[in-house]
Amino acid sequence: MILKARWSRIFPCYQRPDPHPEISVLLMMSYLFKGVSLHRYLLIYLLIAIGVSGGLSAKPSWPSEADRIAAYRERCQREIQYYVDLTDASNPESGSLFTIAANVAFGENIEWARERLRTVNNPPTGSMFWMHPMVLAMYAGRDVWNEEDIAFIRELWRTYFPFRGDTENHWLMYYASLYLACQMFPDSGPEAWYNGKSAQENMEVAKDYIKDWIHVTTSYGQGEYDSPNYIEEYLRPLGLLYGWVEDPELKELSRMMIDYVLLDFVVENLDGLYGGAHSRLYPRYAMRPALTAATQHAWMLFGLGTEQHNAGNIILSLCGYTPPAILHRIAWDRDEAYVQKELKRTRWRLRHAGPKAFEIEGRFTIPVYKYTYVHPDFMLGSSQGGLLQPIQQQTWSLIWRDENPLETANTMFGIQPYSNPLEGTMYFVSDWDTVTDLIARSKVDYDSPDKLEGGSPYEQIYQHESTLIALYSMPNDNRFPHIQTLFTQDLKERSEDPSGWIFARGGPVYIAYRPFAPGEWRPVDWTGLLKSGAGAWFSTNFDKLAGKSEFYVSESLQNGYIVQIAPVSEYKSMSAFQSAIKGLKCDFSLHPKPKVNFTALDGAHLQVKYDGDFLIDGKRIDYSKWPLYDGPFSKADRESETLEIQHGGERYFLDFKNVTSSTSFISQQ
């Protein structure tokens, strides 16, 4: 493995796929075996050639395009068939609009579908979460629905007034669904629609919103960025548009945006798990990353991970979208470690925007600087800290490979559990006195001291590859004046060293954690809120998911810690890893504000103080120059409205200004 990695750095031609491995071998030999006699040279050539042909565990070649597409289409069929098989055709009181769509698309259980269409809409509920599966059922059954069915559908759109929502994903689902519903009845007047506008008026407004969202996203980054849960709430409306919109511009834009959203995911995935920092994450998925919608999409789209089913995948299965081969290769390619930098933005700040805010068309936001270190065995990623997204932010996380991720809490993260009306009124229209209660009605753990997700204005995060530093400076009146870091029950060899370091092993990685202030161990969900079932589905099965996992909790107002990760393969034993860590320079102080000087395992000298600059080997990190995308597989500048996707010698370029995409090939020497 090490030799292959070295060869791929020395010889760019030694990358997957390699159409002429014998030539690559000769090139390598000319470099590695200078001065070797001819007969020994030939013997070495034969031995290496055998290895290239498969005997020495050579890199596998990518599947042919025909095989890749066939496998993808087969997974799409299985996805739809799964929901058809779940159908109880004798029970018109059971089944969702997605199930109806799957059945009518396959020509199955048509009479049940007609009856269920009526019972499930008696009355309609869910606003945009009703709109998009309703539109899917309308188009999937376009050749099935009779005049009575169509009349019933039209009456629903006339009488039911869906709420537009208050989040980025709500608005996209709302306008994409509204456009397609009106497109089916393009000549209908204002009397036919719940909002008193004609079909053409609704389509014009919806198209304007969709294009503006694309412009903002490809210029400044997504607001609801990189969510393992909410990725599906973007792929669903985009899939609907791509599959059934008749406007050529919107159809092409929707296809390009699906590619864009999926690129965002594949560069930060590990076996289908979405790593790094996230805008929104629910507690059960924070504990079990393999259960998220992103992982379910990864299986169907790319064949990653374990087969799991997701209703949103029905849309992708039926809309005709096929992920480009370059995204498939990036999703699977984890042969080399790399750094991925991305620029996102916060949700629109309605109040308390702050001095770092900037304006986009009359709306205020601040930049989010994402940094992710993607290693073949693990992924460590972070954002800068602060209130970047209300309620469900995950500021940093670690995930690692595991043979059975569905049953394993293969993750680590830290949080300062902040709850304050300042955050609520920053992002929501509610008033100061009631906003916290309103939030906690749907996100039940928001106002709990042991919650698993959320941002804090007192948290600052800094990262260099596999090293992460967190600093905290909390006021005396902070509602929950502590920090907590997750150590799951699936960690092995956990120990507290007299040096102050806490050590553990998670699968193929060693973990070193250095708290700057004393703490104590508490069980996950120590208040019992989620284990008691609060929030219904919100806490489903949480008792099992939490298990015996613990938080390391520290109540010092001035606080911080270092996280240092390393592959198990680089050390002979845990003892050797511990010795290496304890030999590193580590100086820190907490007063008057936290600061630290630390030499990482790779030799980099890291210096930072709270509210100060982050220095790596004496060089200040300039966040003002942070690109929209910067990694080995993706490049994009701020405000460019473009995205360059690269893998091997292929370059796939998305230009949203001109609504074009192109593929080219870069010659390699």
The pLDDT assigned to 489 comes to: 98
Are the beta carbons of 218 and 261 closer than 8 angstroms? no
Bigger pLDDT: 51 or 66? 66
Taking 80 as the threshold, does the pLDDT of residue 143 lie above it? Answer: yes
Q: Are strands 520-523 and 467-473 parallel, antiparallel or unpaired?
A: unpaired
Q: Is the pLDDT of residue 386 over 60?
A: yes
Per-residue pLDDT band for 268 (boundaries 50, 70, 90) equals very high
Q: What is the mean pLDDT of residues 508-520?
A: 99
State the average pLDDT for the chain.
92
> 30-39, 153-162, 329-338, 594-603 — which is least confidently predicted?
30-39
CB 387 within 8 A of CB 456: yes
Q: Where are the beta strands (DSSP E) in 497-639?
A: 502-506, 509-515, 520-523, 550-554, 558-567, 586-589, 595-599, 605-609, 614-616, 619-620, 629-631, 634-636
Tell whether the model's pLDDT for residue 79 goes beyond 70: yes
Q: What is the DSSP string of 228-289?
A: TTTTHHHHHHHHHHHHH---HHHHHHHHHHHHHHHHHHHTTEETTEE-S-BS---HHHHH-G
* Cβ atoms of 456 and 416 closer than 8 Å: yes
Which residue type, as a one-letter code, is found at position 356?
Answer: K
Instruction: Name beta bridge partners: 599.
Output: 605
What is the model's pLDDT at position 61?
78
CA atoms of 421 and 436, how far apart (whole Å): 6
For 435, residues 6+ apart whose C-beta sits below 8 A from its C-beta are: 421, 424, 425, 428
Q: Which residues pair with 380 in a beta bridge?
A: 373, 398
Tens of pLDDT, residues 560-570: 999 999 999 99
pLDDT-derived band of residue 656, with 50, 70 and 90 as boundaries? Answer: very high
CB atoms within 10 A of CB 19: 8
**Would you place residue 100 in the very low, low, confident or very high pLDDT band (cuts 50, 70, 90)?**
very high
pLDDT of amino acid 233: 98
- For the chain, the first-to-last Cα distance in angstroms comes to 22
Which of 306, 301, 300, 227 is CA-nearest to residue 271? 306
Give the model's confidence band at 54: pLDDT under 50 very low, under 70 low, under 90 confident, else very high. Answer: very low
Task: Give the pLDDT score at 21.
Answer: 40
DSSP conformation class of 348 = P
147-163 per-residue burial string, b: 16 or more CB within 10 A, e: under 16: eebeeebbebbeebebe
The overall pTM is greater than 0.85: yes
3-state SS class at 545: helix
- Using a 10 angstrom Cβ sphere, with 0-12 exposed, 13-18 middle and 19 or more buried, the burial of residue 493 is middle
Return the pLDDT at 394: 99
In order, the DSSP letters of 612-624 are: S-EEETTEEP-GG
CB 141 within 8 A of CB 113: yes
Total H helices, total E strands in the chain: 20, 29
Assess whether pLDDT exceeds 80 at residue 24: no
Q: How confident is the model at residue 537 (pLDDT cuts 50, 70, 90)?
A: confident
pLDDT at 668: 55
| Residue 206, SS3 per DSSP | helix
Quick one: pLDDT at residue 666? Answer: 83
**pLDDT recorded at residue 538:** 83
The count of residues in the chain is 669
Percent of the chain scoring above 90 in pLDDT: 89
Residue 628 has pLDDT above 80, yes or no: yes
Dump pLDDT digits (tens) for 429-465: 999 999 999 999 989 999 999 999 999 999 999 999 9
Residue 596, phi then psi, degrees to nearest 5: -150, 145
Integer angstrom CA distances of residue 564 from 99, 465, 466, 549? 46, 9, 6, 20
What tokens appear for 532 in the block?
């008691």
Confidence (pLDDT) at 390: 87
* pLDDT over 90 (residue 29): no
Confidence of residue 47 (pLDDT cuts 50, 70, 90): very low
Identify the bridge partners of residue 651 per DSSP, sorted by sequence position: 646, 664
Three-state DSSP at 521 gives strand
Q: Rg for the chain (alpha carbons), in Å?
A: 26
CB 593 within 8 A of CB 554: no
- Residue 326, pLDDT score: 98
Question: Got the DSSP string for 137-167?
Answer: HHHHTTTT--HHHHHHHHHHHHH------SS
254 token code pair: 């929707």
Of 199, 203, 139, 131, the closest CA to residue 160 belongs to 131
Beta carbons of 389 and 643 less than 8 angstroms apart: no
- Lowest average pLDDT, out of 44-58, 338-352, 636-650, goes to 44-58
**Dist CA 183 CA 181 (whole Å):** 5
pLDDT at 203 exceeding the cut of 50: yes
